[in-house]
Structure 1
């Protein structure tokens, strides 16, 4: 530990550059991860707020919920399997306020519902984000497929689907709008997922992956995060390789006076750990600050747990990268290294 710290103090600029690179890459990774998590939540908080469970979709729908249809007979069959089943339908649409301004929403109708607001006919419960567009409780709104207006009863937090505010609506109004009495999905909470012939089963995450906009968006952002981790590993390896090349003669002398190779590796690992931990602490602190100062409408979500997990990944990558670059230490022959000289 002492030898490693003395080496850092002796070559401050060298290790400062490494620390700055780790800091910048880790900060960028955390910010992109926060944006990915924020977009994920903004895209499907309606589903993410549900407890873990199983979604059932008609097999003929081939994984597309809007093509699935559960009629009354099917619903009775599902209810015999589980008394806790909830049925729901989701359709993208729009509402028009008193100023004839249109607002995109995701209409949601439910039955046997224990997780979402219960709505009376002619009522409407909206996600609170739509308040930014000027809609308030008690307002009357219309829809071109209804012959009567809807009254905004209240607002709820964190209920969005496909980046649109959710509009919870009574099933009678939903039926008039879309000319169907069938529901699209059945949801059974809990770990047990009874099998039913003719239906595909999806966990919460698997159901989200069936949504094209969600899966494509998350795949792109997660690939960027993965590449940043790969790049950071390569930088660790390259930087420590360059340092080790410059210290070949020093390693030769240390080996000549009896210092074991394992101790030289430990010195390198301590240096990596010190530099990386300092850089990561700064990255975590600034990324949390970014989440606070971000504009309210910007989807950004990075918990301390997520940031800590990424920091642990960076430490593992740093250990692997530095170890791979340090293999040459074990190959150093004292006399040969001394004869070659070094910087």
Structure 2
């Protein structure tokens, strides 16, 4: 450690460049992890809010709620501790000059998926809805009358609730009758038994239903099948993994070049009786110091950047995940130093000093 630290102090600029590169790589890794976490939350917030164990959809729906069409009569075929009916459709909501893509949930007020109201009041009447508080950031307010792209019906916001986005769209919660009017228009009364799915709370999902037309899906599996959810997460994860490899390669190249430049010096040190083990430990310690400092600075810059980002940027920093990624970056940097260690071990003192 003594040798490693003294060399860093003597060649500040050279090692500052290595630390700077590691800092930029770690900054990008941390930011991508926050982006991945934020986009993941955008898709699943409303589903997590249900705190359900599973959901029942039709077998032909391919685990997609919009493609599932059930009737209330099919509730007789479902056995669970708690059930909550759900209707869902997507629309564009307009209030004045403000527009937003929204997901409309039809629910029953006395069932467990009814959201907590954080501002305003719960829906009590015809065409009243509770809206995701993310819509406030776009300019929507309590009392706004919403025009919808798919119907002549108009909805009124009477309250807001936290953490309510489904597949990246803010959710509007209304009573099931409101959902039927929006979806079926004048034919609402003839279709007042139509729903999209049934959310469950139960300890035994396997025995929920024997109806072959229905499929019971674990909640996490349902989330994984949301459009674009898995593909998005895999893309960002692969980007992070590639950055780990890039980080290792960068460190390996830098340290190898530095080692080659110091071959004669290492030869003299070995001729004086300094062991390969001591020199190798010095290189590893040097790499650890550089990587730790670079990762720590990148970590701090990421959190600082997050504090100034606008709410529209879907970033959510998960500290345990970031710490894990930081540890991985340090480890792969040390692995990248192995090439320099191997070079040092192979140095012949006599040849190195020109003997």
TM-score by length of 1: 0.86
Return the offset for 1:240: 1.7
Q: Residue 11 of structure 1 corresponds to which residue in structure 2? A: 11
**Residue-by-residue CA offset, 1:128-166 (whole Å, 9 max, x unaligned):** 122244432233334476676433220112211233211
1:38-88 residue CA offsets vs partner (Å, 9 max, x unmatched)? 22223332124444733343332223222123333432332x2x2133332
The reply to whether residue 120 of structure 1 matches residue 124 of structure 2 is: yes
Give the equivalent residue in structure 2 for 1:238: 253
Please identify, of 262-271 and 31-40, the stretch whose mean Cα deviation from structure 2 is larger: 31-40
Aligned residue among 127, 144, 167 for 2:172: 167
**Cα separation, partners in 2 of 1:250 and 1:205, compared to 1, 3 Å:** farther
2:101 aligned partner: 104
Residue 119 of structure 1: CA displacement?
Answer: 4.2
Moved more, 157-166 or 37-46: 37-46
Say how many residue pairs are matched.
337
User: Within 2, Cα distance between the matches of 1:253 and 1:100?
Assistant: 76
Partner Cα distance (2:290, 2:99) in 1: 54
Q: Pairwise mapping of residues 43-58 of structure 1 onto structure 2 (< 5 A)?
A: 43-51=43-51, 53-58=53-58
In structure 2, distance between residues paired with 1:52 and 1:323: 49
Q: How does 1:146-225 map to 2 (within 5 A)?
A: 149-179=154-184, 180=191, 181-189=193-201, 193-194=205-206, 196=209, 198=212, 200=215, 202-225=217-240
How big is each residue's C-alpha offset from its partner over 1:285-325, in whole Å with a ceiling of 9 and x where there is no partner? 11111111111222221133232122111112112211244
| 1:2 Cα deviation from its structure 2 partner | 0.9
Deviation at 1:260, TM superposition (A): 2.9
Mapped contact 1:41–1:48 kept (Cα < 8 A): no
Q: 1:271 to 1:154 in 2, by over 3 A?
A: same
Deviation at 1:113, TM superposition (A): 3.1
